[in-house]
Amino acid sequence: MQSSPLTLKEQKRIEALKSLNILDSENEREYDDITDLAAAICDTPIAIVSLVDRHRQWFKAKIGIDICEVDREHSFCTHAIENPYEIMEVNDARLDPRFKDNPYTFGDDAIIFYAGAPLIDSDGNALGTLCVIDHKPRKLTDIQLSSLDKLAKQVVKLFKLHAYNSHLKDKETELKETNTKLKNFAGVVSHDMKMPLANMIVTFDILKAKYAKNLDEGGLEYLSNLKQSAFKMSDYITNILAHYESDYITNEAGLHQVFDIHELLENIEEMLDINDNCEIEFPEHNREIKANKIALEQIFLNLIGNSIKYNDKDVIKIKVAFEEDNYNYYFSIQDNGIGIPEEEKKRVFELFSTVASEDRNGNIGNGIGLSTVRKLIFNLGGKIDIKSKVGIGTTIKFSIEKK
């Protein structure tokens, strides 16, 4: 037979089929399992999940047949989708006027028996069929017909899942592209701003040294405020760069090295310029580990730095603990700081989210550090958790995967 004219209904059906993005896709076990079940239940040598395209019938899954598609002109399924709400059963194609001259009804592998359950989407479009075929005349029982119909509905559910996953992959690709553009933009802007800010800071010091005698107390205070603002902006830019460079840091295999934990924490103390009013307790037993040292330093710099900044006690107390098993390293950082309200814990790791109004020195945070910490830990195959009580302190536990 000739393929159906491209009516408005047929055009809509073809568009629905194309939107699935499933034609000519790879084999998938879920579909193969359904054809296996259909053939077993109906006791036929052949079962096919077929999709009826404009000029062809393509097989998404099949058992008992080698070809992957046929011309629609000779397609049995084309007839089946014309009545989408019932199974088309052909007991003997040689006696059916629609198929008696069809080339597939002749030869050793002739299609004599056919039963096709239409695959109908939520808009009523018959996209194809789940069909069973035999080389001899036969008739399905009511139970077999019912089972074939139920299996066809499962195929449609797989179509929906395929379309949803395909949509998610497209969105993921789109988000990655957008994130790359933002990352590149942030990198360019940040690098271009750091040098002018550094020049501004040096200029403030030169102005103060050269013209201090000509400025009153208010003028000197203005200069000091400008300098502090420049420092804050520089720190903000540094944190943005660290956030976007975290992917590179954690993906670089060459950054893994062997070092001991006490050595790492001693370096952190030097970087943070710890004062006498801060006590940091190292893990009782020093251990040698193999990990991404740069990433781990970044994590500890942020977490211990926050324990110091967001602390209202006369003596800041920080305790670092360590454990390990066959798969992960486990760290915890406990402090006696201001704590985090229960309702705020969920958003502390969000980018640009700040919980405390100001730190120990009256400065306002930028909400980048903890977001970077979470990103680094996630990229290292780990998890992070917070337990905190306002006015008492915070304990942050995190893990990283062993390599």
69-86 tens-digit pLDDT:
999 988 999 999 998 889
Q: What is the per-residue pLDDT for 15? A: 92
CA dihedral (302, 303, 306, 312) in degrees, to 10, reads: -160
Q: What is the per-residue pLDDT for 63? A: 96
- Residue 181 lies inside a defined structural domain of this protein: no
Q: What is the per-residue pLDDT for 142? A: 96
Q: What is the per-residue pLDDT for 3? A: 44
pLDDT in tens, 379-400: 889 999 999 999 999 999 999 9
d(CA 86, CA 381): 51
Q: Of 122, 148, 168, which closes a domain?
A: 168
The residue assigned the tokens 């980048």 is: 368
The amino acid that residue 45 corresponds to is P
- Give the strand order in the sheet containing 126-134: 69-71, 56-63, 46-52, 126-134, 113-120, 88-90
Residue 244 has pLDDT above 70, yes or no: no
Q: Of 168, 197, 217, which closes a domain?
A: 168
> Residues 157, 284: one domain?
no
Q: Give 256 or 119, the one with higher predicted confidence.
A: 119
Angle at 387 between CA 383 and CA 388, to 5 degrees: 145
Q: What is the per-residue pLDDT for 273? A: 77
d(CA 74, CA 87): 19
* pLDDT confidence band for 1 (50 / 70 / 90): very low
Mean confidence (pLDDT) of the chain:
85
Q: What is the mean pLDDT of residues 14-33?
A: 91
> Residues 161, 12: one domain?
yes
Range of 391's domain? 252-401
pLDDT in tens, 256-279: 789 999 999 998 888 787 888 899
Contacts of 300 (CB under 8 A, 6+ apart): 264, 265, 268, 333
Q: Give 68 or 349, the one with higher predicted confidence.
A: 68
> Residues 261, 354: one domain?
yes
Tokens linked to 389: 């009580």
d(CA 267, CA 260): 11
Query: Rounded to whole angstroms, what are the CA distances from 69 to 119, 136, 220?
Result: 17, 22, 83
CATH number, domain of 325, equals: 3.30.565.10
Residue 227 has pLDDT above 80, yes or no: no
> Residues 24, 161: one domain?
yes
Q: Helix or strand or coil: residue 257?
A: strand
The answer to whether 13 and 126 are in contact (CB under 8 A) is: yes
Q: What is the per-residue pLDDT for 260? A: 92
Q: Give 384 or 357, the one with higher predicted confidence.
A: 384
- Residue 183 lies inside a defined structural domain of this protein: no
d(CA 111, CA 98): 13
Which range, 60-64, 177-181, 240-244, has the best average confidence (pLDDT)? 60-64
> Residues 16, 158: one domain?
yes
Residue 368 has pLDDT above 80, yes or no: no
Angle at 162 between CA 156 and CA 166, to 5 degrees: 150
Q: Give 275 or 58, the one with higher predicted confidence.
A: 58
> Residues 161, 61: one domain?
yes
Number of domains in the chain: 2
- Residue 55 lies inside a defined structural domain of this protein: yes
- Residue 208 lies inside a defined structural domain of this protein: no
Tokens linked to 147: 């089972």
Q: Give 217 or 146, the one with higher predicted confidence.
A: 146
User: What's the pTM?
Assistant: 0.49
